[in-house]
C-alpha cells in the first residue's frame, strides 16, 4: 500500500512540475521570408544567420536560412524570435567549382543589425556594395 501511495505522490509531483513548466514564459518563434540582393541583383545562393542581439536585450535561439535565387525562408529551419538581431549574410555566385557547390563569394560576410517583427512577415535585405 505504501508503494502505491508513493507512486501516486511521485506521479502527482511530476505532473505538477510539467504543468508549471508549460505555464512559464516561453520563447515563441515566428517565420520570416524575403529577398536578399547585392548591388541590386538577387544573391544566387548563400546563408543568412539570425542571432538575437543580447546587447540590445533580446534572447532566444539563433537561426539561419538558406538563400536560393535571391530568396530565403525560415520555415525551412527553426524560425526566429522577434526583436533586435545581429544578421550575418554570406552570398555566393552559385557556379559550382569542384567540391564547392555554392561557388565563389560575391562579398565578404556582411553583418548588420535588424529589428525583426514579432509576427510572421516579409523582411528583405540588401547587401551594400563596398
> Do the domain assignments include residue 27?
no
Cβ proximity of 43 and 106 under 8 Å: yes
> Do the domain assignments include residue 110?
yes
> Do the domain assignments include residue 25?
no
Whether pTM > 0.85 for this model: the answer is no
- The pLDDT value given to residue 82: 95
Please, which residues bridge with residue 37 across strands?
42, 126
- The pLDDT value given to residue 100: 84
Cβ proximity of 105 and 47 under 8 Å: no
Q: What is the pLDDT of residues 51-97, one digit of tens each?
A: 999 999 999 999 999 999 999 999 988 899 999 999 999 999 999 98
**2 burial class (0-12, 13-18, 19+ CB within 10 angstroms)?**
exposed
Domain interval for residue 89 = 32-127
Q: What is the pLDDT of residues 95-128, one digit of tens each?
A: 998 888 899 999 999 999 999 999 999 999 999 9
Joined grid coordinates for residue 10: 511521485
Total structural domains in the chain?
1
Write the CATH number for 116. 2.60.40
> Do the domain assignments include residue 96?
yes
Amino acid at each position: 500500500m505504501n508503494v502505491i501511495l508513493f507512486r501516486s505522490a511521485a506521479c502527482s509531483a511530476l505532473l505538477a512540475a510539467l504543468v508549471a513548466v508549460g505555464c512559464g514564459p516561453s520563447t515563441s518563434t515566428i517565420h520570416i521570408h524575403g529577398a536578399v540582393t547585392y548591388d541590386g541583383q538577387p544573391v544566387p545562393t548563400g546563408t543568412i544567420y539570425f542571432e538575437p542581439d543580447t546587447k540590445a536585450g533580446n534572447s532566444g535561439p539563433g537561426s539561419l536560412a538558406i538563400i536560393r535565387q535571391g530568396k530565403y525562408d525560415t520555415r525551412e529551419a527553426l524560425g526566429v524570435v522577434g526583436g533586435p538581431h545581429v544578421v550575418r549574410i554570406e552570398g555566393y555566385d552559385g557556379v559550382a567549382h569542384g567540391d564547392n557547390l555554392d561557388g565563389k563569394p560575391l562579398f565578404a560576410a556582411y553583418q548588420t543589425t535588424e529589428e525583426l517583427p514579432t509576427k510572421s512577415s516579409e523582411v528583405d535585405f540588401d547587401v551594400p556594395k563596398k
